[in-house]
Every structure is written in structure tokens, then in C-alpha cells.
């Protein structure tokens, strides 16, 4: 009996869905299949590698190249990327806009990374802003936000949010309101990001960006709450973490977004472990706990992921 015949029997018996049968049968028949995700991953890694190579070259050879040569080169690359994007890009629209070419998003992302390298080099060499260098982060984040919305690019949006997180941490750590506590700052950042994403969603501006906002906001909020479980003086942190993790898991299941289920489980597991092991100092007990409970969590997530795969 051939493999294709087995697939037909499994489909008839209901062991696999029609969609799964079609995909597996295409592989068995050696038909063409999509490598879109793989190519996107390779392009992303290529852009990051190029940016890393630029940063390494600047660090190792800036003295021999000279400041003018370095800045002119970085500016030219950045300007070239922007020219390509404005020349090839589609007109702005508040809805989703498809990239005109396969490499379009990555050219824009490369330009933003080169811009970041140029700003870092400028401050490193000339200290133009001195102690107020964090305004570079704020200006860079504003530029990335503008480019992300203009060209409908979630890579650049993620870069904008991470840059804004850096400014948030540097600027508010000196604030008397937060008392320099990174936990409260991270929590405030997560809430602000979620609120911004929901606001744009309500205004129907790039509504497909909402998930990117929520991914970053969920990690920021859950990380802050999980770190709060280490503070033995306040019982509110474990309760808040439990509520937030439950919400992440429930919303992830409801909207079929498995990543949010993973966030809720992992951060909840971290907070629960901190509570359970608080009075334990024996290394063998701690090791046994993580081996057994960690394996149970991983197995549970694998089983749940299969269920998500069948539903989707």
C-alpha cells in the first residue's frame, strides 16, 4: 500500500483533516510547496548580520577610516534605503498595505538599523547631547514609528517599541515618581504600549498592528509582575501576576493566539516557583522541583499546541 493510500484512509477515518491531507499529499507527490516563512527568516537574519557587521567594522576601524568617511557612508546607506522605499512603496493607507517587492520590508529595516548605528557613532565620537543622550532614543523611536506606519512594516514597529522602551527606562529611572524602580517603569511601559495599540485599533489605523503592541505589552507587564513576586513585603504582586497570567491564557485561547498562552504559562510558572521555593534552600529539592515541574509544563504546552494546530 502506498503512502498516499494511507493518507486517504486516515482522512476518511477522520484522523487527519482535509487541509492536512492536502499538504501531506503534496509532499508525497513532490509537488511545489511554500518556503515563504523560511525565506523571510533568512532575509531577516541576513539584515541583522549586515547590521552587526557594520557595527563591528565601526568599532574596529573607525580610527583609520576617519569620522567623515564613516558618517558619509552610513548616511548614504540610510538615504539609499529611504529612497528605495519611497520610490517603490505604495501610497499610505490606514488599512493593511502589501509590500511591493519581496525584499521591501527588509530594505527599510536595514535602513533603520544603519540609522541607529550612525546615531550611536555620532554620540560616541562627539557627545553632542552629553547627559541628555536619551533624546537620541526618543527621536529614533519617533522616526521608526513614522516609517512603520508609512510603509506598513511590523519589523520597524517592533524596533520603534523596543527603542521607546530604552528611552522609557533611562528617562523614568531618574523620576521621583517611580523612585528609580525598573519594575514599576516596566509595568507602566507595558500598560502604555497596550493602551496605545488599543487606541489606534479603535481609530482603525493599522489595526493589524495591534497584535505587535500586545505581544510587547504582555511580556513587559508579566515580566514586571513576575519580578514583583520576589518582593516579600507585598502580597499584591503574586495576586496581580495570577490575574494577568489567567487573562493572557484565556484571551490567547479565545482568539487562538498560542503565544499569549505560552506567556501566561511561563510567567505564571516563574512566579509560582518563586512562591513555592521561598522557604527552601536545599539544592536537591530545588533541582527536583524544576526537573519535574518544568517537564510537566513543557509537555502541557506541547499537547496544547497540538490542539491549537488542529483548531487552526
Give a three-class secondary structure readout of the chain: CCHHHHHHHHHHHCCCCHHHHHHHHHHHCCCCCCCHHHHHHHHHHHHHHHHHHHHHHHHHHHHHHCHHHHHHHHHHHHHHHHHHHHHHCCCCCCCCCCCCCCCHHHHHHHHHHHHHHHHHHHHHHHCCCHHHCHHHHHHHHHHHHHHHHHHCCHHHHHHHHHHHHHHHHHHHCCCCCCCCCHHHHHHHHHHHHHHHHHHHHHCCCCHHHHHHHHHHHHHHHHHHHHHHCCCCCCCHHHHHHHHHHHHHHHHHHHCCCHHHHHHHHHHHHHHHHHHHCCCCCCHHHHHHHHHHHHHHHHHHHHHHHHHHHHHC
For the chain, the structural domain boundaries read 1-33
Q: Which three cell numbers stand for residue 58?
A: 565601526
Instruction: Tell me whether residue 243 is exposed, middle or buried, using C-beta atoms within 10 angstroms of its C-beta: 0 to 12, 13 to 18, 19 or more.
Output: exposed
CB atoms within 10 A of CB 213: 21
End-to-end CA distance of the chain: 30
**Model pLDDT, residue 64:** 67
> Which residue in 135, 171, 136, 141 sits closest to 159, CA to CA?
141
Q: What is the pTM of this model?
A: 0.79
Residue-level pLDDT at 115: 93
List Cβ neighbours of 90 (8 Å cut-off, separation of 6 or more): 97, 98, 100
Q: Give the per-residue pLDDT at 310.
A: 47
pLDDT tens by residue, the chain, 312 residues: 566 677 777 777 777 787 777 777 766 665 554 554 555 566 657 666 766 776 676 666 665 667 788 888 889 999 999 999 999 999 999 999 988 887 899 899 999 999 998 898 888 888 877 778 888 999 999 999 999 999 999 989 999 999 999 888 887 766 655 555 788 888 999 999 999 999 999 999 999 999 999 999 999 999 999 988 877 667 788 899 999 999 999 999 888 888 999 999 999 999 888 888 777 777 788 788 888 888 888 888 888 877 765 444
- The pLDDT value recorded for residue 39 is 56
Amino acid at each position: 500500500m502506498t503512502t498516499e493510500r494511507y493518507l486517504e484512509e486516515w482522512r476518511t477515518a477522520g484522523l487527519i483533516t482535509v487541509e492536512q491531507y492536502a499538504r501531506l499529499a503534496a509532499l508525497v507527490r513532490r509537488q511545489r510547496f511554500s518556503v515563504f516563512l523560511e525565506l523571510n527568516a533568512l532575509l531577516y537574519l541576513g539584515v541583522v548580520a549586515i547590521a552587526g557587521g557594520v557595527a563591528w567594522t565601526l568599532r574596529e576601524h573607525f580610527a583609520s577610516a576617519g569620522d567623515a568617511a564613516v558618517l558619509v557612508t552610513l548616511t548614504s546607506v540610510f538615504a539609499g534605503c529611504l529612497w528605495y522605499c519611497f520610490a517603490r512603496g505604495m501610497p499610505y493607507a490606514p488599512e493593511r498595505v502589501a509590500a511591493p517587492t519581496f525584499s521591501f520590508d527588509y530594505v527599510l529595516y536595514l535602513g533603520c538599523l544603519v540609522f541607529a548605528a550612525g546615531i550611536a557613532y555620532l554620540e560616541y565620537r562627539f557627545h553632542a547631547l552629553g547627559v541628555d543622550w536619551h533624546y537620541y532614543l526618543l527621536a529614533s523611536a519617533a522616526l521608526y514609528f513614522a516609517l512603520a506606519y508609512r510603509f506598513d512594516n511590523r519589523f520597524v514597529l517592533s524596533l520603534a517599541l523596543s527603542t521607546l522602551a530604552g528611552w522609557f527606562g533611562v528617562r523614568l529611572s531618574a523620576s521621583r515618581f517611580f523612585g528609580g524602580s525598573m519594575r514599576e517603569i516596566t509595568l507602566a511601559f507595558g500598560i502604555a504600549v497596550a493602551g496605545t495599540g488599543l487606541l489606534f485599533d479603535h481609530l482603525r489605523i493599522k489595526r493589524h498592528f495591534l497584535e505587535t503592541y500586545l505581544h510587547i505589552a504582555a511580556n513587559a507587564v508579566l515580566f514586571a509582575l513576575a519580578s514583583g513576586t520576589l518582593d516579600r513585603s507585598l502580597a499584591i504582586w503574586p495576586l496581580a501576576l495570577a490575574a494577568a497570567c489567567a487573562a493572557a491564557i484565556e484571551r490567547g485561547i479565545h482568539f487562538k493566539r498560542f503565544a499569549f498562552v505560552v506567556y501566561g504559562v511561563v510567567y505564571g510558572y516563574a512566579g509560582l516557583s518563586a512562591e513555592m521555593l521561598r522557604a527552601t534552600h536545599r539544592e536537591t529539592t530545588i533541582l527536583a522541583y524544576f526537573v519535574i515541574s518544568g517537564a510537566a509544563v513543557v509537555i502541557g504546552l506541547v499537547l496544547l499546541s497540538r490542539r491549537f494546530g488542529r483548531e487552526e
